Amino acid sequence: MPFSYILPPPLTYGETPYRFNVINPLLIAQIYELFLGEELVIDDSGEIKLEKKRNNPLGSVSTPYQVAKSIVEDEIERFDSVDDIKILDPNAGSGTFLISAFDILVQKKEEVLSRKLTFNEMKEIITKQLFAVDIDFGAIQVLRMGISLKLMLGNYVKPVIFKKALSEYKENFILGNTIINREKLSDSDWEHEEIIDSLPLSYQEAFPAIMEDGGFDLIISNPPYVEPKLYTKKWPYSYGLLKDMYGFPKEKIDSSLFFLKRYFELLKNGGKLGIIIQRRFFATKYGQSIRKWLSKEGYLEEILSIQDNSLFKGRTTYVAVLYGQKKYNKQVTFKNNLSKITTDLDKRKLTKEFQQKIVVDAPIISNGIWSVKAMYAEEVICSLFKNTDRKFYKINDKDAELKIIVGPQVLDKKFYYLTGDIDANGMFKGSNNENEDVVIEKELVRPIQGNSKLYSFSKKFSPEYILFPYDNEIVPLNLDYIENNYPKGFQYLSKVKKESKTRRNPGEKWYTYTRKQNLQYLTTPKVASRILCK
């Protein structure tokens, strides 16, 4: 018997004949995000083309639905009851986070009730629990449409006649600028057209009942990232105003950090946060003040750093997921997800998996950079400074006689750092960081001492090496020379070139190091110091 597919009864909007049950609400969001990321241009020949925007000063990048749902699930699981939690996305875009939240809240409530929700119960999730703000009028309209379609497609008793579906949520999903707080503007600020056009928003006026109750229970978002140079070029007055408003008067700052501070202002005491954010501030000088502020307030509970990837379509990203709560948390869990993200299933498991983890006291994250290695170092340093009878020497200070130099830096660490040993025939045999077997002539490697967790050097380590395509005078070897003299090494480098996706400096040999000034020290004698802790 041939298979036949029968469409369910058509859902109509009011009295119109349009069929909505064949439309995935996320499809509308994806179309909108494509609109944000591309533009029509006229090239030199006069031809009109659709091209990706080189720089979007609004910082609009679509969050994959699988990623958003993973973050939202993590956060909602932390609530004992989901009956009345107020959820906000202050930079909603087309609503990926809130659509995910709607799905999860429906599922949670049906599990508790052991039945399907009624239409009115599903509608109340939207009207009483989901809230959004965005500076883009089109985004708000798309969100209203998407959430309406989710409701229409809900698994409840039909038919239901829909009227004024989009306008019903005008009090929940509103147009405005989250970070320019209308209540903090002076009369002189309003004299600038730039401020007027930026749509300053008062959350007290937009959401009076929620703000009178202390704020929102949960904020989920992807704050837009705009580089300082783009912000100062497009919105110079706003940039200066925001730096003063959020306590960064002298620093260069990217837009996502304004949002990060604002989010905690909008949460009630004990309210929770789950966001995906650019992690550039983890290691930059300009991020030092926000790192210290987060440490002082103790708002962070977990930091999940994600390996460089193409998580956001068409872009290489450097992101992390931050989980927090508006109260002082004595400890912070720092995790690294080093997985390659290539499929939607990988994105779905993004926040569920990690390969490295350390739990540290909150004050530790105020110093230095944020990384698992740095956290281990901070633990050791803090334990040393607890012993007041010790004498410490500055060895990397600008006035110190002793210096610690930056060692070899390569663009493809996963291919260049090797674990193994040299056999009796003069061949290195081992593996790279991709767990691939590697066989190379010993002349193309140099031994290194790996110690990422600051273990005592009395501990025995697996032999480690680094691929080193230089001669003894630290001059790069030509590929022809490598091919003729070290065929195994040439074969491996050819594989690296084929598999590497890293952009390299033009005009230089692609297989050489990015920082060359200290390579001569790689094979010179070293001084090792030993610290005994009580």
The C-alpha atoms of residue 525 and residue 366 are separated, in whole angstroms, by: 35
The C-alpha atoms of residue 216 and residue 201 are separated, in whole angstroms, by: 16
Beta strands in 454-517 (DSSP E): 464-467
Find the mean pLDDT for residues 240-259: 88
Give the residue ranges of DSSP H helices in 386-534. 413-416, 479-485, 487-499
Does residue 533 surpass a pLDDT of 60? no
Residues 6+ apart with CB under 8 A from 69: 100, 103, 104, 348
Residues 104-121: b if buried by 16+ CB within 10 A, e if exposed: bbbebbeeeeeeebeeeb
Q: SS3 sequence, 357-368? A: EEEEEHHHHHCC
pLDDT value of position 9 = 41
Give the residue ranges of DSSP H helices in 218-271. 228-234, 236-245, 255-266
pLDDT value of position 337 = 83
The C-alpha atoms of residue 153 and residue 147 are separated, in whole angstroms, by: 10
> Which helix (H) or strand (E) is 446 found in, with range?
strand 445-448
What residue has token string 């009796």? 424
In this prediction, what percent of the chain has a pLDDT beyond 70? 72
Backbone conformation region of residue 402, classed left if phi is above 0, alpha if psi is from -120 to 50, else beta: beta
pLDDT value of position 8 = 38
* Residue 310, strand partner residues: none
| Average pLDDT, rounded, for the chain | 79
What residue has token string 């307030």? 297
Output the CA angle 372-373-377, nearest 5 degrees. 115
Contact at 8 Å (CB) between 124 and 151?
no
The C-alpha atoms of residue 56 and residue 62 are separated, in whole angstroms, by: 12
pLDDT value of position 231 = 82
Residues 6+ apart with CB under 8 A from 511: 469, 476, 479, 493, 496, 497
Confidence of residue 317 (pLDDT cuts 50, 70, 90): low
Distances in Å between the Cα of 160 and the Cα atoms of 15, 23, 80, 154 are 11, 18, 32, 11
AA letter at 219:
I
In this prediction, what percent of the chain has a pLDDT beyond 90? 35
Confidence of residue 156 (pLDDT cuts 50, 70, 90): low
Confidence of residue 423 (pLDDT cuts 50, 70, 90): very high
The C-alpha atoms of residue 80 and residue 83 are separated, in whole angstroms, by: 9
Residue 370, classed as helix, strand or coil, is: coil
Does residue 213 surpass a pLDDT of 50? yes
Q: What's the helix, strand, coil split of the chain in %, to 5?
A: 35, 20, 45
> Which helix (H) or strand (E) is 428 found in, with range?
strand 427-432
AA letter at 496:
V
What residue has token string 């497609």? 153
Cα 76 from chain centre: 19
**Cα atoms found within 13 Å of the Cα of residue 27, Cβ hemisphere only:** 6
- pLDDT greater at residue 253 or residue 333: 333
Find the mean pLDDT for residues 10-29: 50
Q: What pTM, to 2 d.p., does this model score?
A: 0.69
pLDDT value of position 64 = 77
Closest CA to 404 of 521, 532, 523: 521
The C-alpha atoms of residue 387 and residue 47 are separated, in whole angstroms, by: 72
pLDDT value of position 44 = 73
pLDDT value of position 141 = 82
Q: Which tens digits make up the pLDDT trace of 504-518?
A: 666 678 888 877 767
> Other C-beta atoms within 10 Å of 520: how many?
11
Of the listed ranges 228-232, 270-274, 505-509, the least confidently predicted one is: 505-509
AA letter at 277:
I
> Which helix (H) or strand (E) is 134 found in, with range?
strand 130-134
Does residue 21 surpass a pLDDT of 60? no
Does residue 489 surpass a pLDDT of 90? yes
Does residue 149 surpass a pLDDT of 50? yes
Of the listed ranges 89-98, 138-147, 318-327, 407-416, the least confidently predicted one is: 407-416
Contact at 8 Å (CB) between 206 and 75?
no
> Which helix (H) or strand (E) is 97 found in, with range?
helix 96-113
pLDDT value of position 52 = 56
The C-alpha atoms of residue 307 and residue 320 are separated, in whole angstroms, by: 9
pLDDT value of position 204 = 96
> Other C-beta atoms within 10 Å of 433: how many?
14
Quick one: tokens of 526?
Answer: 């070293």
Closest CA to 14 of 160, 153, 118: 160
Domain boundaries, the chain: 413-521
Helix axes 119-129, 96-113, angle to 10 degrees: 130
pLDDT value of position 353 = 78
Contact at 8 Å (CB) between 466 and 445?
yes
Contact at 8 Å (CB) between 262 and 178?
yes
Contact at 8 Å (CB) between 241 and 231?
no
pLDDT value of position 532 = 47
Q: Which tens digits make up the pLDDT trace of 369-410?
A: 888 877 777 777 666 666 656 555 555 555 655 556 666 777
Confidence of residue 361 (pLDDT cuts 50, 70, 90): confident
Does residue 303 surpass a pLDDT of 90? yes
Q: Which tens digits make up the pLDDT trace of 435-476?
A: 899 999 999 998 887 666 556 666 666 678 989 998 888 888
Helix axes 65-76, 96-113, angle to 10 degrees: 50
Contact at 8 Å (CB) between 368 and 378?
yes
Q: Which tens digits make up the pLDDT trace of 51-84?
A: 655 434 444 556 777 888 889 999 999 999 999 9
Confidence of residue 1 (pLDDT cuts 50, 70, 90): very low
Does residue 124 surpass a pLDDT of 60? yes
Entry field: residues in the chain: 534
